[in-house]
Structure 1
Amino acid sequence: MFCRMDPIIVDLTSENPVYEMSSACMECYREGTTRLMLTSIPYFKEIIVSSFSCEHCNNFNSSVQPASTHAAKGVRYTLTASNITDLNRQVIKSEFATITVPEIDLEIPREAQKGSSSTVEGFLTKTRDGLLDKQPERREVCPDIAEQIDKFCSRLDNLLLVETPFTFILEDPTGNSFVENPNAPEADPFLKTEHYIRSKDDEDLLGITEIKEAQDDEGEEKPQVVQNEESEVITFEAMCNACGKEAVCNMKEVQIPFFKKILLMANICDHCGYKDSEVKSAGGIAEKGQRIKLKMTDSDMDLDRDILKSETASVNILELGVQLTSGALGGRFTTIEGLLNQVKDQLESVNPFSLGDSATRSSASKMSEVIQGIQDIIDHKKLVELIVEDPAGNSYIQNVYAPDEDPNLTVEFYERTEEDNDELGITDMKTEGYEEDAS
């Protein structure tokens, strides 16, 4: 039985309480022991670490489960491994995540190695060991299949030597998986992180569809779309990204002076208290990409500037080596000070292996210096140049001298690359020839 000790969620230290309970062994069906620790990876999220051992047959296994709910979006990490160092990157794979290596047609399904924390090499090596586990029996019963497995494992061994670069893709619809960026807070040129909206199949897999249907079957009166003429706020039914229950979304169209219209969206859940806000452009994608540079000269004035960072924009502070990709913060309409606070919070949570007990001394020192540098900007102790780059052209920093020109603010327009167009979905857009298709 559990011996309840408070607090349940504790820091990741050796003094953490560990709960033990008796459970059946799935190998010999005798009594074994499950050990459970509820903890949190520093600056990442809360997790449940569990292990099972059987003293009768020596069966042992362990797993890692997120103690928090699903993230708002799914996540896809694409790592181009080019040297042995890349094999040592830490990886967290949730129970719903899949790993693929296209070069050798390898796929580690969500059922395999689920709830695991290891390295890139660790996941690939465990896959190889699993394939080789029953090879002596296969060679006796199915020699052709055993030969194919031997050949595949040989290819896997060559891959682990990293004689040529290969692609390691981790995709998780829950958004709770992770691949280490050893260069954090700088962008990693070999690691691409994409946040995506879950599909209907993803929602079915995670049980979100059942939650929606159960709520609909309750027969409760649902909030209708209501427009308040005075405030022009539109309220409609939504689903909470934290607990999956019914929530309310408030949306309002706002005209930013000397820029364009935007949509402010705020989600509120009365069940769990979760709140979230997001900004979206009310218009389409601009003709060209946009790069906005603000050279700070007066902390009082510059920190109070309004800023619109669209969900497709990245944020760079070159003096500190900070590079946050477009998916890091989503869409935000705030002040420069507010954005810097969000950047600081993001850096403290984005990489669990750069801070805390799991970090190396050099990476922890580097990240701490960057976070302190951002705090110095907020505390009016440091002036930097802030760069917001948006291939969709929907971001904005307030010109405090408007309608006159701002001497410290420059806006550059550039031609998007093919990769930019592909990420924005422009490549696959079809705007002509519908009449011919219909006929």
Structure 2
Amino acid sequence: MSEHTSNVQDEQPLPKLNAGNQLFQDLDSNVSATEIESLCMQCHENGMTKLLLTRVPHFKSIIIMSFECPHCGLKNNEIQSGEAVQEKGHIYELRCTSKADLNRQIVRNNTASVSFPDWDFTAPPTTTSRLTTVEGLISHFIDDLSMDQDQRKELVPEVYEQIESLLIKLRSALDLPEQANDSSSANAFTMSIDDPTGNSYVENLCAPNPDPKLSSQYYHRSREQMIQLGLLNPDADEAQTEQAKQDQAATHGYRINMQKELAAAQGVVRAVKEASETNEILSFPANCSSCNCPCDTRMQMLDIPHFQEVIIMSTTCDECGYKSNEVKCGGAISSQGRRITLTIEDKDDLSRDILKSETSSFNIPELELDMLAGTLGGRFTTIEGLVRQVHDELDRRVPFLEGDSAESERKVRFREFLSRLGDAADGKIFPLTITVDDPMAHSYIQNIYAPDADPNMIVEDYDRTFEQNEDLGLNDINVDNYECEAEAPEAN
């Protein structure tokens, strides 16, 4: 509320969060605004502020504010993000070569900076968040830079020439061809969006498959970024900075200190093993990742025949109804990766148990489905359950394919893809081939002929590449004489 300040006199309480009433509700539900009497910054009389906490596509949770003063007539409308700061910052990098790339939708949070490395141009964060396209973003930059160019030409001609040169490049970027296969064409360019809150993103034109023109990476925020986001006191020392990072990481269920994490994990594994001997389910307190309310996480160790022991975890929040489950594999790291290919011929094959670890990728060529490693996390379910879960996740959470701004052709194509997934889960499409590729060899598909070989299943063990070991953090692991190396710096 940039134009007014809140006065707590005679204000209504915000909606209470409970099992049947979420704080941020959908726009199409019966949502009522909360009215708060506030001070008008123009006439210093009391006006009325209306607050609406809701969820909309792309922006997720937002706070809509509207102020009106009956005395002087001042009105002010504002939208603020209600989404929590993510555990890591996020960078998107897009290579634009055709008109289709200019039509990509973008959610740019007010904390995100936009840069064009080819032109050595970076636009700093703004005061507002927006949903736009690549073309709309460039057009906005052109309009901003074009302002006052006549005055600059007379007062600071050198600055005028630099800005004019940049404007020529920006305008030429809007003249991309309809289709282009060569990413090094004359007008092709690269755009990067860096959001330390992790709440900005760029449309994937190949969803649910990876987009060859779009790449992303996560990173830990720097001290300066944490200060800008209000997560750290500017006068804090390095110890307080590290503690702030640990506190924030703990909010999302992670640990920064790897030694503490390893010790805690070993203690949990020992406790789960002891409980598994008596078929006991362990329960420990945690915070819901959706509403941050206290909830319980349950764990149990399960021994999968002809495979290995796994830990199954389940979290249920009574406040908002959020549910999640995950599987962690125990045991040592395999020296090789494993690729499992199964031909699904009937409904009995859909009922086979499948353990998909968080490091595995899987694909079903007949459905044009290709899921990257880390998608859906670790899951212990059936093949039918896995396909149905992919269907439900894509139906609910893939952005840019709902609302009036989505292209009708892509919406139809995506709905047809979801329909094929649903038919496959219902056993209406045969045969199918599912391939699970896990460089850690922690994934498993039930062999109904065990201990004999399964005629419909092919299991291949392969040597991991250097890049795979690097992604898994195995290249830097030292398991020989590590205690002596750790003591050596202290002795010096």
TM-score bracket, normalised by the shorter chain, equals 0.7 to 0.9
**Deviation for aligned residue 1:118:** 0.5
Residue in 2 aligned with 1:123? Answer: 137
**Deviation for aligned residue 1:127:** 2.8
Find out whether 1:112 has 2:129 as its counterpart: no
User: Is the deviation greater in 94-103 or in 332-341?
Assistant: 94-103
157 and 360 in structure 1: CA distance in 2 versus 1, 3 angstrom threshold = closer
Q: Distance in 2 between matches of 1:148 and 1:25?
A: 43
Q: Distance in 1 between matches of 2:445 and 2:464?
A: 21
Q: Distance in 2 between matches of 1:418 and 1:154?
A: 43
**Deviation for aligned residue 1:343:** 0.2
Question: TM-score normalized by structure 1?
Answer: 0.74
**Deviation for aligned residue 1:322:** 1.8
Q: Secondary structure at the match of 2:354?
A: strand
**Cα contact 1:72–1:242 (8 A) shared by 2:** no
Whichever of the two has the greater Rg, that structure is 2
**Deviation for aligned residue 1:91:** 0.9
Runs (5+) with no aligned partner, structure 2:
1-10, 15-20, 69-74, 177-185, 233-243, 252-263
Return the match for 2:324 from 252, 276, 293.
Answer: 276
**Cα contact 1:73–1:174 (8 A) shared by 2:** yes
Return the match for 2:448 from 376, 400, 425.
Answer: 400
**Deviation for aligned residue 1:277:** 2.8
Find out whether 1:186 has 2:234 as its counterpart: no
Residues 327-385 of structure 1 deviation map (CA, whole Å, 9 limit, x = unaligned): 43122222222211210122113433334543322212211112121211222222322
**Cα contact 2:275–2:282 (8 A) shared by 1:** no
Q: Secondary structure at the match of 1:80?
A: strand
Structure scoring higher RCO (CA < 8 A, sep ≥ 6) equals 1
User: Is the deviation greater in 245-254 or in 348-357?
Assistant: 245-254
**Deviation for aligned residue 1:285:** 4.9
Residues 39-95 of structure 1 deviation map (CA, whole Å, 9 limit, x = unaligned): 655699455677999xxxxxx999765555556765543322222221110111233
**Deviation for aligned residue 1:117:** 0.3
RMSD, aligned α-carbons: 4.9
Residue in 2 aligned with 1:326? Answer: 373
Residue in 2 aligned with 1:412? Answer: 460
Find out whether 1:177 has 2:190 as its counterpart: no
Find out whether 1:372 has 2:419 as its counterpart: yes
Q: Distance in 1 between matches of 2:459 and 2:246?
A: 46
Q: State the AA in 2 paired with 1:276.
A: S
Q: State the AA in 1 paired with 2:133.
A: T
Q: Distance in 1 between matches of 2:476 and 2:214?
A: 24
Q: Distance in 2 between matches of 1:370 and 1:408?
A: 26
Find out whether 1:80 has 2:103 as its counterpart: no
Q: Distance in 2 between matches of 1:159 and 1:432?
A: 54
**Deviation for aligned residue 1:406:** 1.3
**Cα contact 1:314–1:388 (8 A) shared by 2:** yes
Residue in 2 aligned with 1:97? Answer: 112
Q: Secondary structure at the match of 1:319?
A: helix
**Cα contact 1:174–1:206 (8 A) shared by 2:** no
Find out whether 1:149 has 2:177 as its counterpart: no
19 and 425 in structure 1: CA distance in 2 versus 1, 3 angstrom threshold = same
**Cα contact 1:421–1:427 (8 A) shared by 2:** yes
Residues 195-244 of structure 1 deviation map (CA, whole Å, 9 limit, x = unaligned): x486585777474959959x99xxxxxxx988474347665564442234
182 and 41 in structure 1: CA distance in 2 versus 1, 3 angstrom threshold = farther
Residue in 2 aligned with 1:290? Answer: 338
Question: TM-score normalized by structure 2?
Answer: 0.67
**Cα contact 1:185–1:321 (8 A) shared by 2:** no
**Cα contact 1:11–1:40 (8 A) shared by 2:** yes
Q: State the AA in 2 paired with 1:117.
A: L
